[in-house]
Amino acid sequence: MPEPGSIQKLKRYWLLIIFPIVVAVCFIIAIRMDKSMQAARNDRDFLPFWLAGRMIVNGENPYDAGQWSAGYSQYENSLLVNPAFLYPLPLAQAFAPLGLLPMRNAYIVWVTISELMILASLSSLLLMDKSEHAKLIFVPILAGLALFRPTILTLTQGQVSVLFLFGLTGIALSWQRQRWFLGGLLLGLLALKPNLGAPLIALLAAWLLLNQHWRALLGTLVSGIVLLIAGLIYDPAWVAQYWHVGGNKLAGTFGGSPTVWGLGALISHNNLTTTLLIGGFGALIILIGFFRVILLPHTTMSPLSILSLAVCVTLLVTPYTWTYDQLLLLLPVVAVTLGLDRMGVRFPLTVAILPGLDLLVIILLVFDAILQVEILNVIIPAAMLGMCLWRNSCLLTHLNWNATLPNTSSK
């Protein structure tokens, strides 16, 4: 039998061999994506992030309409959709290193990094549960993830949703290992994209407060203050400028997102009053359901379980989100898959969740094309929320049932 130390060394050698190969494959895929986007003359959502980073390097203000328009005018194929940068200033500062590169090179680097973050997130989430079938589950989920429309949109467009997936994975790992302060630091960083970060922070802060995880709450506060100060050092007026730009964007797009608000707008034919009533009622019911789950007596939830619920709820109730943000549903997909595996469900059914979502996405895409909207994609996080609640209920029943079985090992 080989010694444990030699096995660990062998694993390290394999990682040293495999990692460069994985990086090379991801880099080649990124180059192919760049060429396909260039051939199709498609705009990329990555351009605003890169431009904001370059403006930071040049000492410019990404909230200044004139400077922003001048930056966009350098790219003939790019339409000026937004009058200024739509995100908090610290996110532009985070993209400053990529702003040093030419735009296409920066896009290739970012897509490569995004692919690696997706792979790292999936691997880490599966290994958290220490399931015997984690390696077998990895391949079907990765295949389903490669065909998942939010994944494709995130990578082709160069979106930042993957950064939040990576951050949420880090939070789950940190909290599982009782590193509450570190997880709280990562949680505060979600404020870099407030349309997702603010609801997530609020929901998770309520759970942390209920379970008296004060160090995690302190970490969230610390990282939030650091982000605020980092932006203020560069531009003392950035908060007011961002609030103005973000408010105008929300007012112009409200009711068009795949959320309960968008569903309300679709049902009411964009009548604002009815949209607010339907969307508000739907959001209220979902939030009541969330708090009922975390307030149930004698219920303990793992970090991955609470993060999965918070992701589903956020994607349903936030006023502004798009289909690529549903990449975050990887967390509940893994949570439900591991839960089914723990309950002894047959392997083909265990790994069928993400392929099933891929099929649902295709069906919804047909109706979206007919209606010329993305709103029907709200069904995807709604379906995952239902599966998360069902999984938690089944696991609780399964564990309680096992606990009542007589111990016959000594007979």
> How far apart are alpha carbons 243 and 390 in whole angstroms?
39
pLDDT at 40: 55
Confidence of residue 402 (pLDDT cuts 50, 70, 90): very low
> How far are the Cα atoms of 116, 137, 333 from residue 134, in angstroms, in the given order?
19, 5, 13
> How far apart are alpha carbons 87 and 66 in whole angstroms?
17
Cβ neighbours of residue 106 under 8 Å, at least 6 residues apart? 46, 50, 98, 99
Span 34-61, pLDDT tens digits: 887 776 556 678 889 999 999 999 999 9
Contact status, residue 328 vs residue 148, Cβ threshold 8 Å: no
In the three-class reduction of DSSP (H, G, I as helix; E, B as strand; rest coil), residue 26 is classed as helix
Contact status, residue 192 vs residue 94, Cβ threshold 8 Å: yes
**Reported pTM:** 0.89
Span 58-93, pLDDT tens digits: 999 999 888 888 888 777 556 677 888 989 999 999
Contact status, residue 231 vs residue 88, Cβ threshold 8 Å: yes
pLDDT at 246: 84
Cβ neighbours of residue 82 under 8 Å, at least 6 residues apart? 48, 245, 249
- Residue 407 burial (CB count, 10 A): 6
Q: Which amino acid is at 78?
A: S
Contact status, residue 244 vs residue 262, Cβ threshold 8 Å: no
DSSP assignment of 107-170 equals HHHHHHHHHHHHHHHHHHHHHHTT-TTHHHHHHHHHHHHHH-HHHHHHHHHT-SHHHHHHHHHH
pLDDT at 407: 44
Mean pLDDT of 363-371: 86
pLDDT at 97: 94
Residue whose C-alpha is closest to residue 181's, from 208, 215, 222: 215
Residue 86 DSSP one-character state: -
Q: Which two tokens stand for residue 193?
A: 């994209």
- Is the pLDDT at 300 greater than 90? The verdict is no
pLDDT at 77: 57
% of the chain surpassing 90 pLDDT: 48
> How far apart are alpha carbons 47 and 354 in whole angstroms?
30
Between 388 and 316, the more confident residue is 316
Span 124-170, pLDDT tens digits: 998 887 777 777 888 889 999 999 999 999 999 889 999 999 999 99
> How far apart are alpha carbons 395 and 62 in whole angstroms?
48
pLDDT at 314: 96
Produce one character per residue of 115-143: b if its CB has 16 or more CB atoms within 10 Å, e if not. bbbbbebbeebbebbebebbeebbebbee
| DSSP3 helix / strand / coil % (the chain, rounded to 5) | 75, 0, 25
Lowest mean per-residue pLDDT among 77-86, 101-110, 178-187, 314-323? 77-86
Contact status, residue 307 vs residue 301, Cβ threshold 8 Å: no
Confidence of residue 229 (pLDDT cuts 50, 70, 90): very high
Considering the chain, what is the average pLDDT of its residues? 85
% of the chain surpassing 70 pLDDT: 89
- Is the pLDDT at 257 greater than 80? The verdict is yes
- Let me know if 232 is exposed, middle or buried by CB neighbors in 10 A (0-12, 13-18, 19+): middle
Confidence of residue 320 (pLDDT cuts 50, 70, 90): confident
Q: Which two tokens stand for residue 213?
A: 């995880």
Span 321-352, pLDDT tens digits: 888 999 999 999 999 988 888 877 888 888 88
- Is the pLDDT at 391 greater than 80? The verdict is no
